[in-house]
Chains A and B, each alone.
Chain A
């Protein structure tokens, strides 16, 4: 199909820093309409995901991570809407696509491991049916035994026993359900998988297992991934680069080592310092949450009310996200 061909051609051309780019988000704005004004959940956010990498998207609850993910999928729920910007997946702007072209892109090129993975499977449908419908919706009817073998292969790829093929979701543990979601996400070999806090409802041991499964899958399939989460430990273990969001804005993007060894943005520094460490007990520095009303952000820097290093210029001008070193982007007046 033409969309597919366009996608292939475009895929060659999009690069940044000399590397192939799967996803490029440009100046994305997503607002939720409320009686007292628009909540600016995502406000002028730009970032990209390289081919074959995992990008971690972090920031405290309510900073706009899920909204960003939903906007990329073009699935922002009312009263939310995409106000502006571009979402280029393999060079194609998803914001401009119509309903049926979007359905074609979804799952074929862009898959989701949703935030509420515990409840993300249809409770009245068997596991194999839920995986099969994803395949057959996009590839048409398949021979029965071939389809079954393919589903069993997918299950074993994420470390699930074949006996769950015929089961219903309520018969599986949380970790198993989450791995079913991962199996489903890789079924069509997409370019990009967005995993929204895929381990948040699981206990620690299962978190590691699911994290490892994600890593295996990424390595084996050479797929790009956005991993949303606030567990910095898990992020350190899994991702290549980290993007830090605060109150609807991207404040820092850098390789994972740089974020941990030399965080530049004061918010990122607080975030790193407040990681609970086993050796020393530090007082948690991040307790307040986002302090201003997202309907009415202050002029100037979005972080000024909580920033220990705030200056006069911070209250006047909003710092743009600039590349300070190779691959290290930050939005802060300290580095001008």
Chain B
């Protein structure tokens, strides 16, 4: 029978844990593999930039305490992994005494909200377009229209973002050019606040959808063409089923399976992909934070964000892996 088995769930959760552990290990190793003392390096760079650092002694102390750099490597390593798993990501170098986990916690909901929603919208629209492009019963005018909508996809994302801001923010003044929510609103579940969030999210979300739906459409089109040649499509037609039923329950239903796998990967890359979007639209998410971290050489911030990136990616993959057997009854059989 299709569906989840304990064996499958345990394997997937094991993979999730392994991914996070490996990611943490790499994050731990990289600064240590770099030649020289990372702390001294950062501090001297900061000193060179600004000439004087507030609380620098306190900062170095906190840094050393955070990593226990006087301890042997194995001890450092175990403490680092332990701290990371408790989401203790230490102090920001550039914004001391802000803590990294609270900076990330403020930014993460914006990123996940914007990119998750936009990616899902793009997935639905793109796949529908692709499926219709491949379906031989699609009316001619729709079939001619669909490829034109996809030409936008070939515009570089950077230019697309600037174009949208130029036309809809500065030209028509329909949407704000930057930020995630208007000033002076009470945060919470009230309509003006939510409306403002949506208002701010429309332009960046549109940019993401336009830029990425072509990817889904092309993949779906290819899969639908493959599926159309399957024997079960012939039997479905011979059974006299309604074309709409054949389209959705035979064509799309079977073609979507590899697309969902691709969605897993793309959701995994969500935070990484957020850097450009959030930079262009000055959207205060994790991507924007990462950009700031890089610009200010904020080592701990970068490490913390990379850890969160690994964590969210692994978690998305886990969730989709657990959902996958529900849409493909063959999967538990094939992989145990």
Contacts and interface: CB of A to CB of B under 8 A. Distances in A.
B329 A168 contact: yes
B240 A107 contact: yes
Interface string A160-184: 0000001110110000000001001
Nearest to A110: B238
A9 interface: no
Interface stretch (B171-179, B182-190, B228-236, B277-285): B228-236
A114 B328 contact: no
A177 to B, nearest CB: 11
Q: Say what secondary structure dominates the interface of chain A.
A: mixed
A124 B234 contact: no
Contacts of B327: 124
Interface in B197-241: 230-232, 234-241
Contacts of A108: 240
Interface string B1-13: 1100000000000
A116 B253 CA distance: 20
A106 B240 contact: yes
B240 A170 contact: no
B227 to A, nearest CB: 10
Contacts of A121: 232, 235
A199 to B, nearest CB: 15
B139 to A, nearest CB: 14
Nearest to A135: B239
A137 B245 CA distance: 10
A107 B238 contact: yes
Contacts of A103: 240-242
Nearest to A181: B235
A120 B234 contact: yes
Contacts of A117: 231
B333 interface: yes
Interface in A138-191: 138, 166-168, 170-171, 181, 184
Interface in B292-336: 327-330, 333
* Category for how many chain B residues contact A: 20 to 34
B254 A133 contact: no
Contact of A104 (B231, B240, B241, B330): B240
B240 A124 contact: no
Contacts of A84: none
Interface residues of A, number: 35
Interface string A98-123: 00001111111001101111111111
Contacts of B250: 122
Nearest to A187: B239
Contacts of A137: 239-242, 245
A104 to B, nearest CB: 7
Contact of B333 (A73, A124, A170): A170
A117 B237 CA distance: 14
Contacts of A115: 231
Given A121-B232, A123-B232, A170 B237 contact: no
Contacts of B236: 122
A117 B230 CA distance: 11
Contact of B239 (A102, A106, A171): A106
Given A122-B254, A123-B254, A124-B253, A167 B1 contact: yes
B330 A123 contact: yes
B249 interface: yes
A67 to B, nearest CB: 13
Of the candidates B239, B249, B330, the one having the most CB atoms from chain A within 10 angstroms of its own CB is B239
Given A103-B240, A122-B254, A124-B254, A112 B329 contact: no
Given A122-B254, A167-B1, A112 B241 contact: no
Given A75-B234, A120-B234, A168 B240 contact: no
A104 B328 CA distance: 31
A181 B235 CA distance: 9
A334 interface: no
A112 B231 CA distance: 12
A32 B240 CA distance: 24
A120 B232 contact: yes
B37 to A, nearest CB: 57
A195 B236 CA distance: 15
A120 B240 contact: no
A125 interface: yes
A68 to B, nearest CB: 15
Contacts of B232: 119-123
Contact of A170 (B230, B242, B249, B330): B330
Nearest to B230: A119
A168 B235 contact: no
Contacts of A73: 238
Nearest to B235: A120
Interface string B62-88: 000000000000000000000000000
Nearest to A109: B240
A168 B332 CA distance: 12
Nearest to B232: A122
Nearest to A115: B231
A232 interface: no
A238 interface: no
B231 A122 contact: no
A107 B241 CA distance: 9
The 9 closest A-B pairs by CB, nearest first: A106-B240, A116-B231, A112-B238, A119-B231, A103-B240, A168-B329, A120-B231, A120-B235, A107-B240
13 contacts: A105-B240, A106-B240, A107-B239, A114-B234, A120-B234, A121-B235, A122-B236, A122-B249, A123-B329, A133-B245, A166-B1, A168-B2, A170-B330
Interface of A: 73, 75, 78, 102-108, 111-112, 114-125, 133-134, 137-138, 166-168, 170-171, 181, 184
Interface of B: 1-2, 136, 230-232, 234-242, 245, 249-250, 253-254, 257, 327-330, 333
Given A103-B240, A134-B239, A138-B240, 4 more contacts: A107-B239, A134-B241, A137-B240, A184-B239
